[in-house]
Homo-oligomer: A and B are copies of this chain.
Amino acid sequence: MLCLLALASTLTGCATPDADNVGPERPPNFVIIFVDDVGYGDLGSYGHPTIRTPNLDRMAAEGQRWTSFYAQASVCSPSRAALLTGRLHLRSGMYGANRVLFPDSQSGLPDSEIVIAEALREIGYATAIIGKWHLGHLPRYLPTNHGFDYWFGLPYSNDMDSTVAPGGGAGRAALFDPKIEYYNVPLYRNDEEIERPADQNTLTRRYTEEATRFIRDHRDEPFFLYIPHSMAHVPLFASDEFRGTSPAGIYGDVIEEIDGSVGRVLDTLREEGLAENTLVVFTSDNGPWLAFETHGGSAGPFRHGKGTTFEGGMRVPGIFWWPGTIAPEVRQDMGSAMDLFTTVLTLAGAEVPQDRVIDGLDLSPALLGTGPGPRNLMFYYRVDKLYAIRKGPYKAHFITQGAYGQGPERTQHDPPLLFHLGEDPGERFDIAAQHPEVVEDLLREAEAHRRRLEPGPPLFDLRGGG
């Protein structure tokens, strides 16, 4: 407890006798493990009955398991932009009629945006991204131009550059029974394409090797390691060690391989004496892609999945691990992936940018056990439209819509639907009529938010050529 208080005030790590790489002089390391299309209900500790995730369950038991943590968008590119910049995707222009960036997109995350890696490199951190970028694949937009010293991974989603169906969209059948050669997606090391098509069977294994090597190589300096796995986005691939082993089928194989990867990352931190000076976060970029049935994940108790602004689309696992500093706890505080930007910068002692709006909040009081989390509002966007808002336990839907290509149709609600997420996490019982004062309050919050928000130009729709 003394140690926790000391840390809260000085924002430095806890020194312990057997951890030789920590000390009051050295700021903490950060590892963010960011999985793709993994739903709230896909881990054992979040209630999955057949997917086995002993490493993540142990991480959760040793740290904080958050039950109200959100991806900031319900699809890939905007969600990643929000996490890395601490800002709503609208501010950086990471939106458009094209919901994400594609291999023929001509744009990417603007140079003017400040990515976590950039801010930390400025104060002496070694930085790496091991995994999927998806914020622009043209040279000027690559991770190495956004503050990362090192990159190993894919420039965009693993279902892109399809060779199967003409026009770039892979046939559905090819997604359920995929082969490496169906997806001509490149693998990069720094700015160099080193393999094409990427051997997706070994991707999770190679990400793990790269991540653990980075940790060992940088054990003597502060580091920021961002591991955005390409899995469990369809098409699903797993290495020989895992393929065909899970009671939950191929989706289970993929999650269990990620779980093994998390175990190796934490073990490496322990072996190098870094565990007590490293904050590790595990979360997902959006909810499960339900259209892919047994190849998609589970939102657990929540409604709908990826692509929607129901809870299933954006509420995701959120696990925080920092032995000796974060005490084991289940927390119901609200958190957004955007908050990781502000939290990490604050804990590192870096300055949070003052020249722009930062939407992320500092979660460290909740993490360190010194107070409640600061977030009381959550904004649910679909592209550039505010579909829903949450304040405390109440959520109002102004517009509802199913995932792309799936029902239900887009429906405007006036008055909005109102749900109490504490009593009704599944968003089943509209209580707007019983609580007009809550509806009014949420409408006011939404209006105030809209008035203040200045979106950048939509950059996803610059396509073609290339």
**Chain B residues whose CB sits within 8 angstroms of the CB of A423 once the complex forms:** 50, 248-249, 251-252, 294
Instruction: Determine whether A332 belongs to the interface, using a CB cutoff of 8 Å to chain B.
Output: yes
Given that A420-B249, A422-B247 are contacting pairs, would A301 and B48 also be in contact in the complex, using a CB cutoff of 8 Å?
yes
The interface on chain A, measured as residues whose beta carbon lies within 8 A of the other chain's beta carbons, has a size of: 39
Which B residues touch A251, using CB under 8 A? 423
Q: Is A49 an interface residue (CB 8 A)?
A: yes
Expressed in whole angstroms, the minimum distance between the Cβ of A304 and any Cβ of chain B is 13
Residues of B within 8 A of A428 (CB): 293
Cα distance A421–B41 in the bound complex, in angstroms: 15
When each residue 220-251 of chain A gets 1 if its CB lies under 8 Å from chain B and 0 otherwise, what string results? 00000000000000000000000000111101
Report yes or no: A50 in contact with B293, Cβ–Cβ below 8 A. Answer: no
Q: Cβ of A47 < 8 Å from any Cβ of B?
A: yes
Asked if A46 lies at the interface with its beta carbon under 8 angstroms from chain B, I say yes
B61 pairs with A49, CB closer than 8 A: no
Given contacts A300-B300, A301-B41, A393-B247, contact A252 B422 (CB under 8 A): yes
Give CA–CA (A61, B54) in the complex, Å. Answer: 12
Q: In the complex, what distance in Å separates the CA atom of A420 from the CA atom of B294?
A: 10
Q: Tell me if A96 is interfacial: C-beta within 8 Å of chain B.
A: no
A24-51 contacts to B, CB under 8 A, are 40-41, 44-50
Q: Which 5 A-B pairs have the closest CB atoms?
A: A47-B47, A249-B423, A49-B67, A247-B422, A294-B423
Residues of A within 8 A of B (CB): 40-41, 44-50, 52, 54, 57, 61, 67-68, 246-249, 251-252, 293-294, 298, 300-301, 315, 330, 332, 393, 420-426, 428-429
